[in-house]
């Protein structure tokens, strides 16, 4: 029972570097999303997808890109890392409602802790 | 943007004490979820409340959804060290502003032996 798998778990970047956080789920969920978690700010939605080939912006999309070529994978790309992107990133998946959002339980990965120097 | 405010932000109590965590908003939600997150892990769903006034119990945890579906509370009876963690509420705003889940800031609970 893999569920939602995120890699890497830890990453240190220098300002201006790019990288991709990987997310894969094996539950055949249509809905996938990326959140960032910062102290005192809860979970903020970065980007989400309601199915392969469909992505949309969340609350804090600037500086991040996503793509959804398969149902299983939803990578998050940082194009030019900034210290403000230091955070813990969570990928989450769920079934999709008719309204195009998550329905029922969100299943989270274990998180990717990113530090940008 | 819908906002969910949780209080208190931090709570440190002794084993055996009771506590209540609140999740408040000015917006109406179609449902509200409570998650618990332990260090180094992702949040895990505890319960979903859907109907205004609904009460759900999970062992020593009691969850209530406000009559107007704008607020919720989590009450823990006789807290144990294993209850330590970050508690997050999340509201489904599909009734008013789309179908995204909005998370509160979280309540960090520490139960001391």
Under 8 Å between Cβ of B54 and B40: no
Tell me the per-residue pLDDT of B8-37, one tens digit each, with 9 for 90 and over.
Answer: 999 999 999 999 999 999 989 989 999 999
Phi/psi of residue A86, nearest 5 degrees: -65, 120
Residue B1 has pLDDT above 60, yes or no: no
Residue of B4, B6, B99 with shortest CB distance to A101: B99
Query: pLDDT over 70 for what percent of chain B?
Result: 93
Closest-CA residue of B relative to A109 is B42
CA distance B20 to chain A (A): 19
Nearest residue in A to B101, CA atom: A102
Q: How far apart are CA A90 and CA A46, in angstroms?
A: 10
> Over chain B, what is the mean pLDDT?
92
Interface test with A, best of B100, B104, B106, B108 (most A CBs within 10 A): B100
Quickly state the pLDDT bin for B96 (edges 50, 70, 90): low
Confidence of residue B6 (pLDDT cuts 50, 70, 90): very high
Average pLDDT per consecutive 10 residues, chain A (117 residues; last block may be shorter): 92 97 96 93 91 92 96 97 97 82 87 97
pLDDT of the residue at A42? 86
Asked if A91 and A3 touch (Cβ cutoff 8 Å), the reply is no
Mean pLDDT of B43-72: 96
């Amino acid at each position: 029972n893999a569920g939602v798998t995120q890699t890497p778990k830890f990453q240190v970047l220098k300002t201006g570097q790019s990288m991709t956080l990987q997310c894969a789920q094996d539950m055949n969920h249509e809905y996938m999303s990326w959140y960032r978690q910062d102290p005192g700010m809860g979970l903020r939605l970065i980007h989400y997808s309601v199915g392969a080939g469909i992505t949309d912006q969340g609350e804090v999309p600037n500086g991040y890109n996503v793509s959804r070529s398969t149902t299983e994978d939803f990578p998050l790309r940082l194009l030019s890392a900034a210290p403000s992107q230091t955070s813990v990133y969570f990928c989450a998946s769920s079934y999709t409602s008719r309204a195009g959002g998550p329905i029922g339980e969100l299943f989270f990965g274990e998180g990717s802790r990113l530090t940008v120097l | 943007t819908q906002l969910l405010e949780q209080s208190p932000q931090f709570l440190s109590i002794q084993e055996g004490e009771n506590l209540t965590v609140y999740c408040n908003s000015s917006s109406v939600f179609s449902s509200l979820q409570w998650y618990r997150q332990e260090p180094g892990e992702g949040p895990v769903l505890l319960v979903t409340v859907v109907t205004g006034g609904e009460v759900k119990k999970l062992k020593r945890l009691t969850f209530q959804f406000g009559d107007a579906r704008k607020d919720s509370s989590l009450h823990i009876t006789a807290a144990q060290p294993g209850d330590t963690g970050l508690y997050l509420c999340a509201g489904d705003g599909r009734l008013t502003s789309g179908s995204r889940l909005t998370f509160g800031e979280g309540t960090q609970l520490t139960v001391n032996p």
